[in-house]
Amino acid sequence: MIIIAISTLSSSLNLLSELRHQIKLIVFMSLMILALFLISCSGNEESDAKSIQDTVSVSAPIREVIVASNPDNNEHTVFVLSAQLFKCHKPSVWNIERQGDLINIDVFNLQPVVLPDDCKESLSTTQNEINIGADYEIGNTYTVIVNGFTKAFIAGGEDLKGLDAAKTEIIEEEKEFIQEIKLNPELPAIDAPVMSKSIDADWNFETRKVIITILVTTKPEEPVEGLTVEVSLSGPVGPDIQSLTAKKITSQNGIATFDAVLDKDGSYMFSVEYINGRGVQFDKESGESYLQIDIGD
């Protein structure tokens, strides 16, 4: 009887030992799976953080600017229709800086530092509603500059729109823009250099507005449609010099038109900085890329 009991006890101990070994193995495997899961999550977080860090703010092309006011409290609002030129462009923030009668607004898009292969050209728009405060004297003329796109307004003037009217107009402008995209099929790539063939300027003495027209052509002087033209305007020469940039897309006849209100006399330099889109290469040495504008005596 004693021998049988000892044998039974020995078998039970062996079985318990095997169970403990299996439990240890299961626990070990579970810990390994948990560790791999945590490493994977950490890798994803690092990847997401890296994705966020590897972006940069770029100036957004401006489609339309409308200034509106609320007559009850004199609050002024700027409605801006900005554009994104690529699929990987995302609307970002805006900055406001006021200097007397001049209100500068910078509207930005966010894009990867290095454009990925799947980031194709694709036009879209964003409505921005920007409050610029109530410190405006009735009857005075003020100028809003949004990424180089200028709009002058008279505080309390008859031409100043109400908030509801401005909202409606900016929505209609966006609808028209989207309709233009639908009507205009994607243009084929052009494997050829292009140039700013000519730059012409017209001056309105009453509004102090200069309208600048750029003709973009290939070397054989054929107008090119659907190219993004980026320009800069610096001036007046002196301690108060400012530099503005703007982007426009060439029309069917290769024309891109820019306008600016020059509220100070002096010398300004207008420059075509880049022309891109449709796979073209910008030849800045050919044609006309610069124009000096002298205002005043």
Q: What is the pLDDT of residue 173?
A: 82
Which residue, chain included where needed, has tokens 């607004």?
Answer: 105
Mean pLDDT of the chain: 80
Q: pTM for the full model?
A: 0.52
Q: What is the pLDDT of residue 40?
A: 54
- Residue 258 above 80 pLDDT? yes
- Residue 110 above 60 pLDDT? yes
Q: What domain range includes position 285?
A: 193-295
Higher-pLDDT residue of 5, 181 = 181
CB atoms within 10 A of CB 23: 10
Claim to verify: residue 174 and residue 221 sit in the same structural domain: no
The count of structural domains within the chain is 3
> What token pair was written down for 54?
């590897």
Q: What is the pLDDT of residue 39?
A: 55
Q: Does 204 map to a domain?
A: yes
What is the rounded (10 degree) CA torsion for 87, 120, 248, 240? 70
- Residue 19 above 60 pLDDT? no
Claim to verify: residue 67 and residue 122 sit in the same structural domain: yes
- Residue 214 above 90 pLDDT? yes
* pLDDT tens track for 58-103: 888 888 888 999 988 999 999 998 888 788 888 888 999 999 999 9
Claim to verify: residue 214 and residue 249 sit in the same structural domain: yes
User: What amino acid is encoded at 92 in this protein?
Assistant: S
For CA atoms 161, 264, 98, 60, give the dihedral sign.
positive
Q: Does 254 map to a domain?
A: yes
Confidence of residue 7 (pLDDT cuts 50, 70, 90): very low
* pLDDT tens track for 23-38: 665 655 666 666 565 5
Query: Which of 138-147, 220-229, 233-242 shows the lowest mean pLDDT across its residues?
Result: 233-242
Q: What is the pLDDT of residue 45?
A: 46
Query: At which of 129, 154, 183 does a domain end?
Result: 183
Claim to verify: residue 69 and residue 107 sit in the same structural domain: yes
Q: What is the pLDDT of residue 49?
A: 45
Q: What is the pLDDT of residue 135?
A: 93
The domain that holds 280 is classified in CATH as 2.60.40.1930
Using DSSP's 3-state secondary structure scheme, residue 46 falls into helix
Q: Does 188 map to a domain?
A: no
Query: Which of 4-8, 51-55, 162-166 shows the lowest mean pLDDT across its residues?
Result: 4-8
